[in-house]
Amino acid sequence: MSANQPKKKIVLAYSGGLDTSCILVWLIEQGYDVIAFTADVGQDDDFEAAKQKALSLGAIKYVCLDLRRDFVDNYIFPAVQADAIYEDRYLLGTALARPCIASGIIRVASEEGASHVSHGATGKGNDQIRFELASYALCPQVEVVSPWRLPEFYERFAGRQALTPRRTISALPVTPKSPWSMDGNLMHISYESGILEDPKVEAPQDLCTMTKSPAEAPDQAVRISIRFEQGIPVKVKNLTTGEEITGSLELYTYLNKIGGEHGIGRVDIVENRFIGMKSRGVYETPAGTILRQAHIDIEVLTMDRELRRIKQRLALDFGEQVYRGFWFSPECKFLRDCIKRSQERVSGTVQLSLFKGGVHVTARDSEFSLYNQELVSMDVQGNYEPRDAEGFIRINALRLREYHRLQGDLDQS
């Protein structure tokens, strides 16, 4: 940037950690006026310390927005309605947070008259895609500066190992906290990189901070109930103590606490990044794990079988879209609308037992239940003629009999 040109304002997604502190100083070196922005999405950070660090490093302003309830209501709960999951195991905690954070940074950029935004995501990961797709969707004219993709930055700092006090910008008062990367929010904590990059190596026993090891969890199960209205959790009751919790943020925080105490929600997985490589991550998602189990149960009780088959296929696509950063795409909005429509009668109460890492559904009830006890009973015939099953079986067997009669010899050759 020429010395004669007026400085451009840039809003940096700032955590107060090593990466973004280095980036903040580097952006100032490039001639930007930097506004440091932190989104409070439930991470366990000292925001006042982050503010003081950002200002001491040269930021012209620090902004922190409390987006926790927005995150729960508008991102986590639609994922609960969808039973959203990626590659069978990842509950999308980071992927769901990124569009929420991006909406916050674009809001601040608009309010502050900033034409640029920046972030600390690396050039190999998913977060650069998620953050930038959301930013461009919300503000098509915005310009994004991604330092980890710029040679003048990554050739100076070859990677996170190079971000140490001796090799970073002078007098930068930051040091790495642990030999892995950690990202937390209200939904989960993720761990990757460093010593976790070798999938053959077990994660350290002291890695997890959100949940107890199942082996160290209480020897007595805790019993809870969760009330859903149209697929959204609205009340949690601790059946052991009688405590009741309402309010979206409050009940989600409570489930995190009680789930963490009982070792719920740990996974250690290898996943396929959108950009084309495999990565290893360790995730803790206590409340999300509990809610997914409970929601599936009440949904099966209240939703028609064929409708649910369609909804499950939509949910699979939804999970892929969220993972890949397309939250604000027209196709993702369409799927959210469809999934929300499917939840109109998914209301009721599920009872669960939490014990040493396990979530066990023990009972369920709903005013919209499609369960007919008399019809299904082995002791009462009800409005069902057993002889009708013979024709049902014969019709379904016709295809199988004809296939094996006409093609069976080829299959055995």
Distance CA 274, CA 324 (A): 6
- Cα dihedral value 175, 179, 180, 183, nearest 10: -40
What is residue 171's predicted lDDT score, i.e. its pLDDT?
45
CATH tag, 183-365: 3.90.1260.10
What is residue 259's predicted lDDT score, i.e. its pLDDT?
98
Q: Is 127 a catalytic residue?
A: yes
Do residues 127 and 327 touch, judged by C-beta distance below 8 A? Answer: no
- Identified catalytic residue from 68, 127, 336, 347: 127
What is residue 2's predicted lDDT score, i.e. its pLDDT?
54
Q: Is 181 a catalytic residue?
A: yes
Distance CA 180, CA 195 (A): 6
Q: What is the pTM of this model?
A: 0.91
- Identified catalytic residue from 68, 98, 223, 280: 98
What are the domain boundaries of the chain? Answer: 9-177, 183-365
Tracing tokens 């009830």 back to the chain, one arrives at 365
Q: Is 292 a catalytic residue?
A: no
What is residue 413's predicted lDDT score, i.e. its pLDDT?
54
More confident residue, 382 or 92: 92
% of the chain residues with pLDDT over 70? 92
What is residue 163's predicted lDDT score, i.e. its pLDDT?
54
Task: Provide the mean pLDDT of the chain.
Answer: 92
9-177 and 183-365 share one fold: no
Tokens (6 digits) for 22: 């280095």
Average pLDDT for 365-379: 86
Q: Is 98 a catalytic residue?
A: yes
Tens-place pLDDT, residues 51-92: 999 999 999 999 999 999 999 999 999 999 999 999 999 999
CATH tag, 9-177: 3.40.50.620
370-406 in b/e form (b: 16+ CB < 10 A) is eeeeeeeeeeeeeeeeeeeeeeeeeeeeeeeeeeeee
- Identified catalytic residue from 21, 181, 225, 347: 181
Q: List, in order, residues 6 or more apart from 334 with CB less than 8 Å away.
A: none
Do residues 109 and 11 touch, judged by C-beta distance below 8 A? Answer: yes
Closest by CA to 273, choosing from 120, 136, 149, 129, is 129
